Chain A
Amino acid sequence: MSNTPRKTALDALHRSLGATMTDFAGWDMPLRYGSERDEHVAVRTRAGLFDLSHMGEITVTGPQAVDLLDYALVGNMSTIGPGRARYTMICQEDGGIVDDLIVYRLGDTEADLPKYMVVANAGNAQIVLDAITERAAGFDAEVRDDRDAYALIAVQGPESPGILKSLTDADLDGLKYYAGLPGTVAGVPALIARTGYTGEDGFELFVAPEHAEKLWQALTDAGAPVGLIPAGLSCRDTLRLEAGMPLYGHELTTALTPFDAGLGRVVKFEKAGDFVGREALQAAAERAETAPPRKLVGLVAEGRRVPRAGFSVVAGGEVIGEVTSGAPSPTLGKPIAMAYVDAAHAAPGTKGVGVDIRGTHEPYEVVALPFYKRQK
């Protein structure tokens, strides 16, 4: 692979908008267009438009597509109804998390041929593709790399349903959270999914790369009157952090099982058949039940210095944990962090917890996640 970052179909557009670009997982992506705080607030209160074309799409088809996914992933894929989506994970044999994923079941009816789209994080897409391909041995299923087949544009925020409605005849009112349907948006064929990574209502639109610019422009024009602005990866990170959503490489790594990350609910032992990691995950589930090691908690600063990934969490002069993500929260107006801390200090309201910020122990309040939940 070359070291030159890949460019999305919207690259020229980002540059014409004056975006600050950044190399993210081998892609040249917009970090922010103006103030990342303004972009964050726009998504919370109005709408933001994201280019997420770096995400990795893998299509799985064939008579045994669902059997393969049930074996390769930790969730129960056979219970995903047509047009629905599921948050799940792919684990190693030792239970370590390879990636977190969204699996979309395409097609409208039970009678349609099984077709699933697995969406992986950009930095893990090749690893996930390789793992599913390897695990497909013996299954009558085809695993296809569709990374180049899609551009992904997300419109997120309370105004996003109205904006999208003005551009499509698709039944958005009938489209539930974690569901997707094929449709036409601004004359462009798209898979319209009600998913996102911001803690707000919103949509992710999978389209052919050659249609991306047209769709982006149409969404910009339709959204401008209600305050939609383009939004970069910087605010996507603070939005997901406020919403308590984990990020691979921060809260999730191969060194942790889903149970360590407080996400054991994604592992479905009751499903039929074996799956990769079952034995190790069963042991991890018991450990989490009886002798939990560290727990993932929220921390809210009393001061204004910002905790960053890798900073030590301290109590009584001892290191009791480590920050995995931290940022100033535009919504709370204070620095926040997610951190793994020893179970003894993990209860919300635990006193005397701090973060070592360049040698100074700044006081922090332990809180339950998420930091922010939208009013429905």
Chain B
Amino acid sequence: MSNPQQLRYSKEHEWLSGAEDGVSTVGITEHAANALGDIVFVQLPEVGDTITAGETCGELESTKSVSDLYSPVTGEVTETNQDVVDDPSLVNSAPFEGGWLFKVRVSEEPKDLLTAAEYTEFSGS
């Protein structure tokens, strides 16, 4: 698998797109989706919620386990992906595309987000 060059990554395996009009898209990486197995339930933050970098903002449930969803940045949620709420398997089939989770107006970004190359080395895939 390859991690898209244009994204940045957190060590909790979330990806963050470049900002358009100050709004970035967030999802989980293919590495994380593969590690979780079939995802059957996603709980996302609500539009308007303020979320904080490194803190939990939702959960992802797979056949075997439940995992917290961490926000890679601090900001306000502007949109959530209703498609993945209705069909969580999108996170497995298209983690970097149709399986995106939410959009956030970024107010603060941690300094330690990884590049694609750094994340590939960090995650080993």
Q: Which residues of A contact B (CB under 8 A)?
A: 20, 31-32, 35-37, 234, 238, 304-306, 308, 327-328, 335, 358
Contact = CB atoms under 8 A, between A and B. Distances in A.
- In the A-B complex, the 4 residue pairs with the smallest Cβ-Cβ separation, listed nearest first, are A328-B40, A304-B41, A37-B38, A306-B61
B117 interface: no
A234 B41 contact: no
B18 interface: no
B92 A35 contact: yes
Contacts of B64: 234, 327
A358 B65 CA distance: 13
Contacts of A36: 37-38, 63
Contacts of A32: 37
Given A304-B41, A306-B61, 16 more contacts: A20-B34, A35-B37, A35-B38, A36-B37, A36-B38, A37-B38, A234-B37, A234-B64, A305-B41, A305-B61, A308-B65, A308-B66, A327-B63, A327-B64, A328-B38, A328-B41
18 contacts: A20-B34, A35-B92, A36-B38, A37-B63, A37-B89, A234-B37, A304-B41, A304-B61, A305-B61, A306-B41, A306-B61, A308-B65, A327-B63, A327-B64, A328-B38, A328-B40, A328-B41, A358-B66
Nearest to A304: B41
Contacts of A305: 41, 43, 61
Interface of B: 34, 37-38, 40-41, 43, 61, 63-66, 89, 92
Given A37-B63, A234-B63, A327-B63, A304 B40 contact: yes
A328 B63 contact: yes
Contact of B63 (A238, A304, A358): A238
A355 to B, nearest CB: 13
A211 B47 CA distance: 58
A327 B66 CA distance: 11
A306 B92 contact: no
Q: Is the interface of A mostly helix, strand, loop or mixed?
A: mixed
Contacts of B65: 308
Contacts of B43: 305
Contacts of A20: 34, 37
A238 B61 CA distance: 15
A306 B66 contact: yes
Contacts of B41: 304-306, 328
A31 B65 CA distance: 13
Nearest to B40: A328
Nearest to B34: A20
Contacts of B89: 37
Contacts of A37: 38, 63, 89
Contacts of A328: 38, 40-41, 61, 63
B109 to A, nearest CB: 29
Contacts of B40: 304, 306, 328, 335
* Most-contacted residue by chain A among B40, B41, B65, B92 (CB, 10 A): B40
A165 B27 CA distance: 48
A169 to B, nearest CB: 39
A180 to B, nearest CB: 31
B91 to A, nearest CB: 12
A32 B92 CA distance: 14
A281 to B, nearest CB: 35
A250 to B, nearest CB: 14
A31 B37 CA distance: 10
A20 B35 CA distance: 9
Nearest to B37: A36
A290 B61 CA distance: 41
A303 to B, nearest CB: 9
Contacts of B34: 20
A162 to B, nearest CB: 28
* Most-contacted residue by chain A among B41, B61, B63, B65 (CB, 10 A): B63
Nearest to A35: B38
Nearest to B63: A36
B115 to A, nearest CB: 27
Nearest to B85: A304
A37 B34 CA distance: 13
A271 to B, nearest CB: 41
Contacts of B61: 304-306, 328
